[in-house]
Amino acid sequence: MNSPLAGERELMLTGIGGQGVQLAAQVIAQGAIADGKEVLVFGSYGGMMRGGNTDSTVVISDQPIEAPPVLSATWSAILMHHQYWAPLRVLISDGGLVLVNTSVFEDQLDRDRYRVVEVPATDVATDLGNPLLAAMVMAGVYGRTSGLVSLDGLVEGMRRSVPPYRSQLIEANEAALAKGWEMAA
Amino acid sequence: MNSPLAGERELMLTGIGGQGVQLAAQVIAQGAIADGKEVLVFGSYGGMMRGGNTDSTVVISDQPIEAPPVLSATWSAILMHHQYWAPLRVLISDGGLVLVNTSVFEDQLDRDRYRVVEVPATDVATDLGNPLLAAMVMAGVYGRTSGLVSLDGLVEGMRRSVPPYRSQLIEANEAALAKGWEMAA
Amino acid sequence: MSERVLIEGSEAMARAAVAAGCRFFAGYPMTPFTELLEHMAGLLPEVDGVCMNAESELEAVGMAWGAATTGHLAATGSTGQGLSLMQESLSEITNARLPLVVFNMARGQGDYFQATRGGGHGDYRHIVLAPMDVPEAVELTQLAFDMAGQWRTPVMVLGDYYLAHTYQAVSVPSFDTAAPEVPNWALDGSTGGSGAAKIVSPLGGGVEGEEGFDLGAHYAACAAHIQAMATGVEPLIDAGFCEDAELVVAAYGSVGKFVRYACLRLRDAGHRVGYIRPITLWPFPSEAVHKAASGSAKAAVYEQNMGQMVDDVRLATMGTVPVEFIGGPSWDHSGFGIGPDINVPDISERILETMP
Amino acid sequence: MSERVLIEGSEAMARAAVAAGCRFFAGYPMTPFTELLEHMAGLLPEVDGVCMNAESELEAVGMAWGAATTGHLAATGSTGQGLSLMQESLSEITNARLPLVVFNMARGQGDYFQATRGGGHGDYRHIVLAPMDVPEAVELTQLAFDMAGQWRTPVMVLGDYYLAHTYQAVSVPSFDTAAPEVPNWALDGSTGGSGAAKIVSPLGGGVEGEEGFDLGAHYAACAAHIQAMATGVEPLIDAGFCEDAELVVAAYGSVGKFVRYACLRLRDAGHRVGYIRPITLWPFPSEAVHKAASGSAKAAVYEQNMGQMVDDVRLATMGTVPVEFIGGPSWDHSGFGIGPDINVPDISERILETMP
Amino acid sequence: MSDDRLFLSTDKPPAEPASLVDDFTPGLITQANHHLCPGCGEPIAIRAAMEAAEELALAERTVAVFGIGCYTAFAHNLDVEVVQALHGRAPSVATGIKRMLPEGFVVTFQGDGDMVNEGLQEVLHAAARGENITCLLLNNGVFGETGGQMTTTTTLGQRTKTSIEGRNPHQHGHPILLSDLTATMDGAAYVARCAVNNAGNVARTKRYITRAYESQMAGAGFSLVEILTMCPTGWFVDTLEGPEYLQNTLAPVHNIGELKTP
Amino acid sequence: MSDDRLFLSTDKPPAEPASLVDDFTPGLITQANHHLCPGCGEPIAIRAAMEAAEELALAERTVAVFGIGCYTAFAHNLDVEVVQALHGRAPSVATGIKRMLPEGFVVTFQGDGDMVNEGLQEVLHAAARGENITCLLLNNGVFGETGGQMTTTTTLGQRTKTSIEGRNPHQHGHPILLSDLTATMDGAAYVARCAVNNAGNVARTKRYITRAYESQMAGAGFSLVEILTMCPTGWFVDTLEGPEYLQNTLAPVHNIGELKTP
Amino acid sequence: MSTVTVRGTVVIDAEACKGCDLCIDACPPRVLEMTDHEVNTRGYRYPRLLAGCTGCQACAQICPDFVFQVYKYHTPLELAVNEGGES
Amino acid sequence: MSTVTVRGTVVIDAEACKGCDLCIDACPPRVLEMTDHEVNTRGYRYPRLLAGCTGCQACAQICPDFVFQVYKYHTPLELAVNEGGES
Ligand SMILES: Cc1ncc(C[n+]2csc(CCOP(=O)(O)OP(=O)(O)O)c2C)c(N)n1
Ligand SMILES: Cc1ncc(C[n+]2csc(CCOP(=O)(O)OP(=O)(O)O)c2C)c(N)n1
Ligand code: SF4
Ligand code: SF4
Ligand code: SF4
Ligand code: SF4
Ligand code: SF4
Ligand code: SF4
Ligand SMILES: [Mg+2]
Ligand SMILES: [Mg+2]
């Protein structure tokens, strides 16, 4: 029997408030949908008023998703910041894929357990004119490295995710996605 | 095994509003308690605003009472009026005891199934000065005929049952009880 | 002990409550609960207690909740609809670990699940006692207050129209007018300013943001307490003739008295039938039911509803004996749950039909 | 069918409700129900529907009751405490034979008894559907409105925080803005003056004091209708790998999805474990559960409470297979019922420990 | 002297040419027989309400919502569509109906126990919302149906089953003057109070109810008519003393008159 | 130019002789740390209430009853005895406590969602009863805790999550002016409304609360102090705009002042 | 003997009456009077009509049991009455 | 340069501050000013004190986070300040 779980790929993102973690999760998820896949997203924002940590869970598959919204293991991770990443650390599967924002991230990674892709995302974003684009850069890198979302998908996903009153950012976001995609080459 | 039901004696009273049926039930019940017995009373007043029927159930025993508040058979009955007595008719046990207020009652009785004691209660009460004493006369007859309550018990029971603002009636009630007791000789 | 008096169930329960130390009552009229409320209103002032004619059931249960926090024995109650309105509070009062007696003068027996599973949100349970008649109601009312205080939990006394309106001779202990002792968790304001003022809360104690306050831990403690009650409260049952019975019939409350009487009569007539009358409905006397039923070929449950306690009987016996449901709702025009099917001959017939 | 979109469970359910014909909604904020309310408020005006920000849950359920009498599909809902407050009305709406969908976005799984036994007074039951995830919630929301109309009964959709807050890709049918057909029992005032004006009442129809009005008969009819639903509503269940399983594990709702996933993983790892996920919680799919469990040596129930559905599983299997409870409440500081124990490794471990 | 000559025959319509001006069973009441007590004021008030509806030709668009009290008996006796609500909850139910039937005419019948005790919040919220419905309060100052206990509208000094010595503000609090309270609310368009203790007041009751109905038909918002009704049973007075008891006990506190007009 | 010279050191008590006139953590608050939002008015109001209690030496006889809203966080942070009640139900709970502790001092803390939505009936019945308790209403015109939805006190035109275009009387009804309503009731002894949007109003708030407490201590009956509080989060405004927003939005409708004194 | 102008009349459904007396006081010309001893089958006394009805409907409007049907004569009648009748 | 009379002073628990700005407007002599860039560990700007505090307690009374401790000097101080400081 071919397990229905075989095709499921998990992604967990962690960062601190304002780094665009939730948006990146949405862009990747919407991108996967634009590519015709099945997706599940569950965000946890910490206690509303405690400020600080923000993380999100995305599952992508070609089949209906079996995974529940809270994961106990993840195939891949995007680490935007080190501050609240401890709980995630143990969840990364052996042989997984970890994207780390080296511009900011200050902690040890178990490089022998999983593949680490270093992305100076905040620096690149700052070069692109806005440090807040770091998450978009990461999304671009992730799409290509993971093979889960196409660049077209990401761009379409970004368009669907950006709220109307932020539409002036679409172009910059697109550039950031493209930049990330390019960096992952 | 000696059935705990052996000692239970049921009484059902029926009449129309104003005939003192509930008071008679209370007097007999309180009288039995004064005599040291166990008692259960359940009154049903019909629909409050439909006027008319009033009946009551009394169970007397030397032991804790096993009978539930709604009886499906009764050893004895006091019939103050015929108007609403139909449902009771079928409940009287073979060999039972039936006291009937012949001054008013106009219906057939199954005299071969149970013992009928005819009491012209309303007439006797009117002679005593107040037709409303009829139920007390009946209670007196019942105590002696049934052997369940003593005259002293009845008088004590009556004293306990008459509300304070009716205390001027105590003497007349006592006389009616005594008269009934005497008639049953 | 005072002299034996002939009193109505409602009055007997009210007297028993006050004798048991109840000092606060709040309620809103609804037949057949109204009578109890009226008697409490008459009696409580005699012992310097308070009876509130609450403006609604929601307010009644809230008032009783408040009174309970002061460590005085408090009670409330209602009927059907009114009890439903109280469910939110009853759930949370259980979590706040407050003693409270709830007189549920029900219409019929349709509210068994609500009483025994807790009709409110969450995973709470509280003790439920179901007297069959006035003398037992007097005993169980006393017990209810004792248990409420001992376990710091709501205890429900589940009665009905028959119980409320039946007169029986009972001895009600006289009132103790001595100022009652209050437990040390109770509030009276006096710990204010000490740096460790007390709190009574369904969310637990302790200081928000500090170690002491932990909602998760509080809920875990509540769950543990429910478990402790489930195993620690002595289950009460009345059973008879089960040893050699071919059929045992289970029933509770006033209806249990009808069934018991039917069984006594059937025994007199030579039928090998036994009865089981659970008195604590929660915790359900599962072991005793299992044992009582184990000797017979069959068990039956008679209740005036579509089948609720029958689940508990089945869970208690778990297939070791077939359990047949022989009850059913019975309603007349009054809606008071005193329908025409509740009578001994009908019940006896159903029992005989069910005999194996 | 519209395009597939990534939306949050709350929004998906709201869209599905409107697509299913819902034209009235009333609610009062409470996490995690608030989001659904807000989406309904946004969507209903698009189809000339009405969404009321009711002043309380008592008023919300009353408004929904009123709207339902007009024959338009109506819904309400809440969470925990709010649902408790609605119990009086839910009981009576059932007796009034009105279609109504109730979205119970619960905190944790402590409210299973309340949902399936009816937390209100009386002997009523209504249909309860428990989706495991967003796509299923969309389907079951549609089904809930269909069943509510077909059976003229409240239907509860039992969700939770996960369901409310998870985004998944779903296809929600587009809205039908055609004026809906109203059933012939519905009120619009038009039969007034005809000598036979309609009445919608939990006490039944007919004229007081005349043949037509008979409370006893009405309650009997209600009981018969509940029975008809109990046997007539198609029970839904999702079960897998039960044929050759040594152990089958039952769970429902979002938690059911965790358990199902754990079982899939354990199967992948070679363990002979199956799962049973009841979808209709009332009527409970007893036969299917019995059948699914019958081949295995043991059954287990995982639910996030002290053991509630386990009763239904035991009643379904009645001792033919030992049923072990392996769940338990899980709470974190939020109180939203997303405690730390709800995770696949812990569940898997409990399952493995329970393997016969 | 015999009575024979004195009393006219009243067992059949007159032989002389005459017009029927009032029939036994009022318009839109299907069955006159009811179980309410002798001398009860509620049937009088309900009659006025139904006649007003008939005169405004509202029968074919009316949905009446009933609370729970003695008046509930009439839920089954009207020739307008009826929804039976729970004790206290009629205004919310009426709201749901009105919102779905904006062209419909929606009226609630509630007692003081129902509206001012159990359901105070419902009626005030509906008033604040300016809900375009009409609520009728049958105020007898007691829970009639459960035996004559004190309600929140019982006046100071009034004797009830639960205020045997008379309502006393220290022990029992003060009466709520529901119409006065409602009249202060912005969403309320028409608020009036009257009584059915004499023929003049009955006529006035009908007039006020008519104005309330007209206000709803004009879409003006929430309307309330409070009607003081006799409850000789709950007051423990003779039926013929009911009207005067009302006048001396309820009316001096719950003042009669229009409190707010659109 | 550097800031060095401009700013005084504020990290330790002054070296010069000085008296402490206000400490970080207010009296009877055991823990200053709380999770309420920046700029929230509720902690300010609670501070005033606790300081008033301290000044009247009520600490050792007070039982505070909390409703459910953001302020609930303080139930665990006070140094007076606390009962946590359900959403809307504090006045009844307070009643039960006061009746059993007539010498005790009983105060409720409730928000507008709690008191004027879910629990309108509770507070009005308590007022009518003349219950000798003090209720404090923290009125921010929104359900803060659930994300800023409209409540019954939201003013016309006020934008909330559920009245995005501003509260509109036709769709959303009119605001309830709880203090005004309560002041009309006979059982209410002291009713006042104030705000915490500037230091003067904070002082006034404390003064009104003190009078309410005094009224309870004198056994005068029910007292209510409504306190308008900022909720920048629920209003979706910057924290520093909160006070002015309050002044322009809530205060013109919910007028500040004493409405009833004993 | 004298004559009284009678503008209207009533039909009384005595069986429906619950004997509450409300109509007696309500009748402006006071031409309704309860029976002394006669009761209907439910045991209630009920009203009878003296000459002088104006057809004003007051009785019908106040009667809680809907006992009255009221007629107005097209032309008033003059009825001879025994003046001592009321004593 | 000039001198300012200082009647009181405050201790500021900058870590407790949530940067809401309420104290700034509340201070009658307007001697509180938010930091420009410095933030506490939770990322909030917080107030600093200029010369001229009167010890009026307004800041302490309005601060939702109980950040202030207020002192009154037994004898007012005179502090020299750079008048251009505010620019
Ligand atoms: C929730 C609830 N509580 C209590 C009752 C019991 N009950 C029925 S009628 C009634 C009193 C009604 O009083 P009111 O509305 O004034 O009407 P009246 O009987 O005086 O006409 C009560 C308390 C009920 N039906 N539902
Ligand atoms: C019965 C019930 N319904 C709903 C809720 C959810 N709830 C919690 S707080 C809150 C809003 C509180 O508003 P308010 O009292 O104004 O306080 P604020 O948050 O504005 O301070 C609500 C609706 C609840 N706890 N209980
Ligand atoms: S109890 Fe009062 S209100 Fe009820 S029917 Fe009798 S008189 Fe009317
Ligand atoms: S949401 Fe509003 S009321 Fe709640 S803490 Fe934040 S600012 Fe205060
Ligand atoms: S119609 Fe008028 S005058 Fe004639 S009997 Fe009736 S009340 Fe009297
Ligand atoms: S008012 Fe009606 S019920 Fe009363 S006495 Fe007159 S006719 Fe009879
Ligand atoms: S005490 Fe007064 S003057 Fe000093 S900083 Fe505070 S508000 Fe300003
Ligand atoms: S008022 Fe308090 S929290 Fe706000 S900025 Fe000033 S010190 Fe910080
Ligand atoms: Mg009334
Ligand atoms: Mg608020």
* Per-residue pLDDT at B27: 96
* Per-residue pLDDT at C212: 64
Residue C330's CATH number: 3.40.50.920
Residue E20 maps to a domain? no
Taking an 8 Å cut-off on Cβ atoms, the answer to whether F85 and C207 are in contact is no
Q: How far is the CA of F37 from the centre of ligand 4 (A)?
A: 5
* Per-residue pLDDT at D209: 59
* Per-residue pLDDT at B167: 84
Taking an 8 Å cut-off on Cβ atoms, the answer to whether C192 and F33 are in contact is no
Residue F19 maps to a domain? no
For C64-86, b/e burial (b = at least 16 CB within 10 A) is bbbbbbbbbbbbbbbbbbbbbbb
pLDDT (mean) for E133-139 = 98
Q: How high is the mean pLDDT of chain B?
A: 89
Is it the case that residue F201 has pLDDT exceeding 90? yes
* Per-residue pLDDT at B3: 67
Chunked into runs of 10 residues, chain C (356 residues) has average pLDDT values of 83 97 97 96 95 98 98 97 98 97 96 96 96 97 97 98 95 83 95 95 78 82 95 97 96 97 95 97 98 95 97 97 94 83 92 95
Question: How far does Cα D261 stand from its chain's mean position?
Answer: 22
* Per-residue pLDDT at D211: 59
Q: Are F105 and F78 in contact (CB under 8 A)?
A: no
* Per-residue pLDDT at A163: 83
DSSP-derived pairing of the beta strands A115-119 and A92-101 = parallel
Is it the case that residue A1 has pLDDT exceeding 50? no
Give, for all 87 residues of chain H, the pLDDT tens digit. 689 999 999 999 999 999 999 999 999 999 999 999 888 888 889 999 999 999 999 999 999 999 999 999 999 999 888 755 444
Name chain D contacts of E63, Cβ cutoff 8 Å: 69, 187-189
Helix (H) and strand (E) counts for chain D? 12, 15
Residue C213 maps to a domain? no
Query: Which ligand is located closest to the Cα atom of residue G69?
Result: 5
DSSP-derived pairing of the beta strands B9-16 and A115-119 = unpaired
Q: State in Å, rounded, how far the first CA of chain F is from the last one.
A: 59
Of D143, D171, D199, which residue sits at a domain end? Answer: D171
* Per-residue pLDDT at H84: 52
pTM for the model stands at: 0.96
Q: What angle do CA B26, B30, B33 make, to 5 degrees?
A: 150
pLDDT (mean) for D330-337 = 83
Q: Considering just the CA atoms, what is the radius of gyration of chain C in Å?
A: 21
Is it the case that residue D114 has pLDDT exceeding 70? yes
Which two tokens mark D317?
A: 């299997």
Which two tokens mark D123?
A: 């002997």
Is it the case that residue D187 has pLDDT exceeding 50? yes
Residue F16 maps to a domain? no
Q: Count how many domains chain F has.
A: 1
Ligand 6 atom showing the smallest separation from residue G62 Cα:
1
DSSP state letter for F76: G
Q: Which residues surround ligand 10, an ion (CB under 5 A)?
A: F 111-113, 140, 144
Name residues of chain B where pLDDT drops below 50: 1, 46-51
* Per-residue pLDDT at C132: 98
Of G22, G67, G84, the CB nearest to E243: G22
Ligand 2 atom showing the smallest separation from residue F115 Cα:
15
CA–CA dist C108, F216 (Å, integer): 45
Q: Mind spelling out the 3-state secondary structure of chain E?
A: CCCCCCEECCCCCCCCCEEEEECCCCCCECCCCCCCCCCCCHHHHHHHHHHHHHHCCCHHHEEEEECCCHHHHHHHCECCEEEECCCCCHHHHHHHHHHHCCCCEEEEEEEHHHHHHHCHHHHHHHHHCCCCCEEEEEECCEECCCCCEECCCCCCCCCECCECCCCCHHHHCCCCCHHHHHHCCCCEEEEEEEECCCHHHHHHHHHHHHHHHHHHHCCCCEEEEEEECCCHHHHCCCHHHHHHHHHHHHCCCCCCEEEECC
Q: In what order do the strands lie in the sheet with D73-78?
A: D50-53, D22-27, D73-78, D100-106, D154-160, D127-129, D280-282
Least confident of C248-257, D79-88, D174-183: D174-183
Q: How high is the mean pLDDT of chain F?
A: 95
Of C117, C227, C320, the CB nearest to D319: C320
**pLDDT range class, residue D332, cuts 50, 70, 90:** confident
Residue C331 maps to a domain? yes
Q: Is F220 exposed, middle or buried (0-12, 13-18, 19+ CB in 10 A)?
A: middle
Residue D43 maps to a domain? yes
Residue F9 maps to a domain? no
Q: How far is the CA of D104 from the centre of ligand 2 (A)?
A: 17
Of F86, F152, F162, the CB nearest to D55: F152
Is it the case that residue D232 has pLDDT exceeding 90? yes
Q: Are C255 and C301 in contact (CB under 8 A)?
A: no
* Per-residue pLDDT at E1: 42
* Per-residue pLDDT at A46: 47
Cis peptide upstream of residue D283 (ω within 30 degrees of 0): yes
Of D138, D171, D204, which residue sits at a domain end? Answer: D171
* Per-residue pLDDT at B2: 54
Residue E139's CATH number: 3.40.50.970
Structural domains in chain A plus CATH codes: 9-183 (3.40.920.10)
* Per-residue pLDDT at C209: 59
Residues in contact with A168: Cβ distance below 8 Å, sequence separation at least 6, in sequence order = none
* Per-residue pLDDT at E91: 98
Of D124, D151, D171, which residue sits at a domain end? Answer: D171
**pLDDT range class, residue D339, cuts 50, 70, 90:** confident
Question: How far does Cα D195 stand from its chain's mean position?
Answer: 39
Q: Are D273 and D247 in contact (CB under 8 A)?
A: yes
Residue type, B68: P
pLDDT (mean) for D291-304 = 96
Q: Are D302 and D107 in contact (CB under 8 A)?
A: no
Residue C78's CATH number: 3.40.50.970
**Which is it for the CA torsion C79, C80, C81, C85, positive or negative?**
positive
CA–CA dist F127, G37 (Å, integer): 52
Residue D216 maps to a domain? no
> Residues in chain C whose beta carbon is closer than 8 A to a beta carbon of chain E?
28-31, 34, 38, 41, 53, 55-57, 81
Residue E227 maps to a domain? yes
Closest residue, chain B, to E70 (C-alpha) = B49
* Per-residue pLDDT at A97: 96
Distance from CA of F35 to the nearest CA of E (A): 32
Q: How high is the mean pLDDT of chain E?
A: 95
* Tens of pLDDT, residues F3-25: 455 799 999 999 999 999 999 99
Nearest CA to ligand 5 atom 8: G27
* Tens of pLDDT, residues F131-171: 999 999 999 999 999 999 999 999 999 999 999 899 999 98
Range of the domain at E111: 29-260
Ligand 5 atom showing the smallest separation from residue G70 Cα:
1
Q: Which of D81, D82, D34 is nearest to D59 (CA)?
A: D82
Residue type, G28: P
* Per-residue pLDDT at F228: 98
pLDDT (mean) for D175-190 = 90
Range of the domain at C94: 4-171
Q: Count how many domains chain C has.
A: 2
* Per-residue pLDDT at B50: 36
Residue D211 maps to a domain? no
* Tens of pLDDT, residues D199-209: 999 999 876 65
* Per-residue pLDDT at F198: 96
Distance from CA of F239 to the nearest CA of D (A): 24
* Tens of pLDDT, residues G31-85: 999 999 888 888 899 999 999 999 999 999 999 999 999 999 999 999 888 755 4
Which two tokens mark A156?
A: 């379409």
Quick check: helix, strand or coil at residue F181? Answer: helix
Which two tokens mark D217?
A: 């008969």
Is it the case that residue D176 has pLDDT exceeding 60? yes
What dihedral do alpha carbons F146, F152, F154, F159 form, nearest 10°? Answer: 60
Taking an 8 Å cut-off on Cβ atoms, the answer to whether A65 and D168 are in contact is yes
Q: Are D66 and D41 in contact (CB under 8 A)?
A: no
Q: What residue has token string 């990322």?
A: H43
Name chain A contacts of F36, Cβ cutoff 8 Å: 49
Name chain E contacts of G66, Cβ cutoff 8 Å: 24-26, 29, 32, 43, 47
Is it the case that residue A48 has pLDDT exceeding 50? no
CA–CA dist C150, F122 (Å, integer): 31
Residues in contact with A2: Cβ distance below 8 Å, sequence separation at least 6, in sequence order = none
* Per-residue pLDDT at D310: 98
Q: Are G34 and G46 in contact (CB under 8 A)?
A: yes
Complex confidence, ipTM: 0.96
